[in-house]
């Protein structure tokens, strides 16, 4: 009988505390506890502690196991995409997408285990829906931009692009951002939304690229001779191509202090910078030997007799 009474007392205490916690009325809970003996309070506290510790253990197990399974799933998806020769852009995007979705699922499971009644928050979520939508508008735009980039492929991983005022090599295309490594090895995160809707210069899209150069000679120098020297320099460089068009050398402008010559040549994408720098170096070395002078900016000053008298 004594054991039965103790069990009944513990059950009644648990029911009292549970009902008090559900109603979230602190005053009623305090009033219920004030009428209990010390033994009853200890029993109730023990039950609550065991329940809380059990839930904490469950939450910890779900978190670590869920994250472990998420990483394994990402690894498996990457292996399958590599096996089917999926582009690196899609691989990084899918890995980022799976990671975000798995995190959301884990958090929902944790909330369920904690016994939080989400039905009471429906009205709050509904009233805050507009505000949340506005707050996430940028994030949703970036997600949509990432999808557009993967579908229409204006660039891919490894391309050298210029977008949003940043020029560099694409490292990754993630779910919300694109990682670009600049020439001085800085990694910059570009939001996918503005990138997908803005102007993109993809320098790696074509296999060949035109090098546009401008050289200046002094007035009085022979333009035809300068053209002949430039053609000779171009012919000696095997990296310069005759397609899609032959090298073009034209008198660009009669400037204030110089005769400007336009040089347009084609080369492979990978040779662009080397060809440009080597052409500048050779012109600097050969032009003076051929009697062609690099101009300096000059000014003509006319002084009248009155001004000379003052001086």
Tens digits of per-residue pLDDT, 167-197? Answer: 999 999 988 899 999 989 999 999 999 999 9
Residue 118 inside a domain? The answer is: no
Say if residue 17 is in the same domain as residue 75.
Answer: yes
Q: What's residue 108's pLDDT?
A: 77
- Which positions of the chain have pLDDT values less than 50? 1-26, 121
- Split into its structural domains, the chain has a count of 3
Catalogue the E-assigned strands of 50-198. Answer: 160-163, 166-173, 177-181, 187-191
Q: What are phi and psi of 292, to 5 degrees?
A: -100, 125
Query: What's 250's domain CATH number?
Result: 3.30.70.100
Using DSSP's 3-state secondary structure scheme, residue 288 falls into helix
- Residue (of 105, 6, 115, 106) closest to 54 by Cα position: 115
Residue 213 inside a domain? The answer is: yes
From residue 224, how far is each of 190, 217, 249, 253, 260 by CA, in Å? 48, 11, 10, 15, 13
Q: What's residue 21's pLDDT?
A: 44
Say if residue 159 is in the same domain as residue 189.
Answer: yes
Query: What's 164's domain CATH number?
Result: 2.30.30.60
Q: Is the Cβ–Cβ distance between 257 and 298 less than 8 Å?
A: yes
What b-and-e string marks burial along 214-237, b requiring 16 or more CB atoms within 10 Å of the CB? ebbbeeebeeeebeebbeebbeee
Residue 265 inside a domain? The answer is: yes
Say if residue 245 is in the same domain as residue 272.
Answer: yes
Say if residue 185 is in the same domain as residue 232.
Answer: no
Total residues found in the chain within this entry: 311
Residue 44 inside a domain? The answer is: yes
Residue 59 inside a domain? The answer is: yes
pTM for this model (two decimals):
0.56
- Residue (of 13, 84, 1) closest to 43 by Cα position: 13
- The total of other beta-carbon atoms located within 10 Å of residue 20's CB is 18
Q: Is the Cβ–Cβ distance between 281 and 231 less than 8 Å?
A: no
Q: CA 268 to CA 277: how far, in whole Å?
A: 14
Q: What's residue 16's pLDDT?
A: 45
Residue 121 inside a domain? The answer is: no
Sign of the Cα pseudo-torsion (115, 119, 124, 128, in order): positive
Residue 112 inside a domain? The answer is: no
Say if residue 174 is in the same domain as residue 239.
Answer: no
Element (H, E) at 102: helix 88-113
Q: What's residue 18's pLDDT?
A: 45
Distance in Å from the first CA to the final CA of the chain: 127
Q: What's residue 186's pLDDT?
A: 93
Its domain, for residue 31, covers: 2-86
Tokens 């009697």 label which residue?
A: 291
Q: Is the Cβ–Cβ distance between 294 and 236 less than 8 Å?
A: no
């Amino acid at each position: 009988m004594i054991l039965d009474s103790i069990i009944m007392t513990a059950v009644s205490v648990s029911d009292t505390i549970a009902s008090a916690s559900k109603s979230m009325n602190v005053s009623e809970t305090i009033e219920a506890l004030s009428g209990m003996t010390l033994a009853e309070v200890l029993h109730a506290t023990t039950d609550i502690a065991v329940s809380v510790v059990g839930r904490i253990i469950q939450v910890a197990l779900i978190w670590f196991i869920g994250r472990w399974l998420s990483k394994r799933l990402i690894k498996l998806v990457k292996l399958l995409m590599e096996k089917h020769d999926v582009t690196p852009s899609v691989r990084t995007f899918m890995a980022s997408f799976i990671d975000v979705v798995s995190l959301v699922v884990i958090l929902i499971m944790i909330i369920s285990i904690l016994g939080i009644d989400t039905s009471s928050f429906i009205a709050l979520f509904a009233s805050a829906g507009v505000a949340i939508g506005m707050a996430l508008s940028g994030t949703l735009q970036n997600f949509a931009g990432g999808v557009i980039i993967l579908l229409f492929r204006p660039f891919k991983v490894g391309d050298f692009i210029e977008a949003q005022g940043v020029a560099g090599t694409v490292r990754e295309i993630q779910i919300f951002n694109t990682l670009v490594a600049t020439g001085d090895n800085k990694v910059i995160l570009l939001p996918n939304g503005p990138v997908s809707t803005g102007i993109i210069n993809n320098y790696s899209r074509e296999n060949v690229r035109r090098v546009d150069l401008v050289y200046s000679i002094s007035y009085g120098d022979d333009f035809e001779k300068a053209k002949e020297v430039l053609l000779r320099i171009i012919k000696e460089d095997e990296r310069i191509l005759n397609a899609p068009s032959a090298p073009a050398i034209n008198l660009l402008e009669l400037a204030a202090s110089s005769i400007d010559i336009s040089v347009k040549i084609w080369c492979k994408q990978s040779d662009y910078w080397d060809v440009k720098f080597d052409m500048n170096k050779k012109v600097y070395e050969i032009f003076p030997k051929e009697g062609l002078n690099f101009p300096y900016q000059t000014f003509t000053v006319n002084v009248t007799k009155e001004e000379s008298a003052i001086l």
